[in-house]
Structure formats: structure tokens, C-alpha cells
Amino acid sequence: MLERQRIATLRRGGLGVRKIAAMIGRAPSTVSRELRRNVLAHDRGYDGDLAHARARQRSRRPRRSRLVDDALLRAEVQARLESEWSPEQIAAHLRIAFPDRPGWHVCHETIYQALYHGGRGGLSRQLTRRLRTGRPLRKHRRRADRRSTRFIAPAELIDRRPSAALERTRCGDWEGDLIVGAGAARRSAPWSTAPAVTPCWYTCPPTAPRRRLVMPSPRCSEACQSRCG
């Protein structure tokens, strides 16, 4: 609102579009569109308060998706989804393949909303099965300040490990890694490996179920045990 009031003040002072845009840090096209959209009929002027009220009213009106109104665009997006393209890939493809059709340059979020809003968004929700997640419903992202730690208790940072473990001069120190595959392997149990810090390895069995909190205890191989004593 303050920005629109400043535009009105500068406009009444006789400044042009480019000068106003430079002073408020906006593109000239943005200022020109704002003035053109909210021109007053009686004196061709601009009222910042009235323009802000109109903008709030427009924001309350739901807008129809381009995928609902444009059958050709909808068919193009649907064909790519059926070929298991991601919405991000489709959005980038539309900009590259159809540079002369700016109305087709939708963002990936538009495609996601069209999918998860069912028929109202223009795309069938059945197409969500073609997404890499395969989820019929969207999974809301948690805010960074509300995310819980992935560990039961805070662990010692690796850069604070003892010098003997860092220099690999003793047996009995372990480094753990979690390996999760792609596709069907991702949905199955992940594998955990616990390589010894000294040059001997042991691979743990799958940590089923997937969200298991306790890993199997690592064991040295027979060769390692004989060497470490």
C-alpha cells in the first residue's frame, strides 16, 4: 500500500514511468501496468488507496487455471505426464519448445495444483501415479523451524572424533553409512554399511523396516579380528 501511495505522489509531481520505477526499485513495465490497470476515469489520474483496494479485491477472486481453458496446452502437459516427465521438466520444456506461446509458459507449481485439485484443475488425479513420488495427495512441507531432528539424541560431530580414530591408528572405530536405492529399491529396506576406520569392512544386513531407529551392531570380519587381536 505504501508503494502505491508513493507512486501516486510521484505521478502527481509529474514524473514519468521510468523515473518512478527507478525511485521505487521496480521495473518500468510493472509501474506502467499498475498505472494502466488503475487509471481513474474522470481525470486519467491514479489513486494509491483505491488501487490497493482493487488489488485486494482481485486477489480474493479465484483464477481459472490455464490448463482448464486451453485444451491444446492441457493435452501437451498430459502427454508428458503420461511419459513420466516431472512437472519441473514439463515447465522447462514448454518454454524451450514454444517460445512464441507465452501463454503456455506455466510454472511447475501450476501443474502440481492442476493434478492435485482433480477435475477442477484440468488434469486427472490419476496422473499423480506417473509422478516419481506416486502420492495421490500432496505432502505438505514442514517449516524449517518446526522440523524435528532425525536422531534420537544429538551425536558427536565427526570433526570432533579422537585423533586416534582420525589417524586410523587403532582398531574398533567405525564409520556408518546409509544407502537408499531408487525406484522399487527405495521403497524397500535400505542397506546400512559400517566400514571400520582401519582398512577392514563389514556390511550390515538390510535395516528393515525402513524407519528402524536402531542399526545392527557392526562386526569385524575374521581377518580383521585376527589382525586386531
The C-alpha atoms of residue 228 and residue 169 are separated, in whole angstroms, by 11
Amino acid 94: pLDDT: 93
**Would you give per-residue pLDDT tens digits along the chain (229 residues)?**
788 888 888 888 888 899 999 998 889 998 998 988 888 877 778 888 888 888 887 777 666 778 888 889 989 998 998 888 888 999 999 999 999 998 899 989 888 888 887 666 678 778 888 887 766 666 665 555 555 555 555 566 777 777 877 777 777 777 666 666 665 544 444 455 555 445 555 555 555 554 444 445 555 555 555 555 5
User: What pTM was estimated for this model as a whole?
Assistant: 0.40
> What is the rounded radius of gyration, in angstroms, for the C-alpha atoms of the chain?
29
The C-alpha atoms of residue 99 and residue 94 are separated, in whole angstroms, by 8
In terms of C-beta distances under 8 Å and separation of at least 24 residues, what long-range contacts does 104-109 make, across chains too?
Answer: 104/66, 104/70, 104/73, 104/76, 106/66, 106/67, 106/73, 106/77
Cell numbers representing residue 211 in the block: 524407519
Given a contact cutoff of 8 angstroms between Cβ atoms, the answer to whether 97 and 85 are in contact is no
What share of residues in the chain are helix, strand, coil (percent, to 5)?
A: 50, 5, 45
DSSP strand pairing (203-206 vs 177-179): unpaired
Q: Which phi-psi region, left, alpha or beta, contains residue 102 (left: φ > 0; alpha: ψ -120 to 50)?
A: alpha
Amino acid 187: pLDDT: 47
Cell numbers representing residue 89 in the block: 521438466
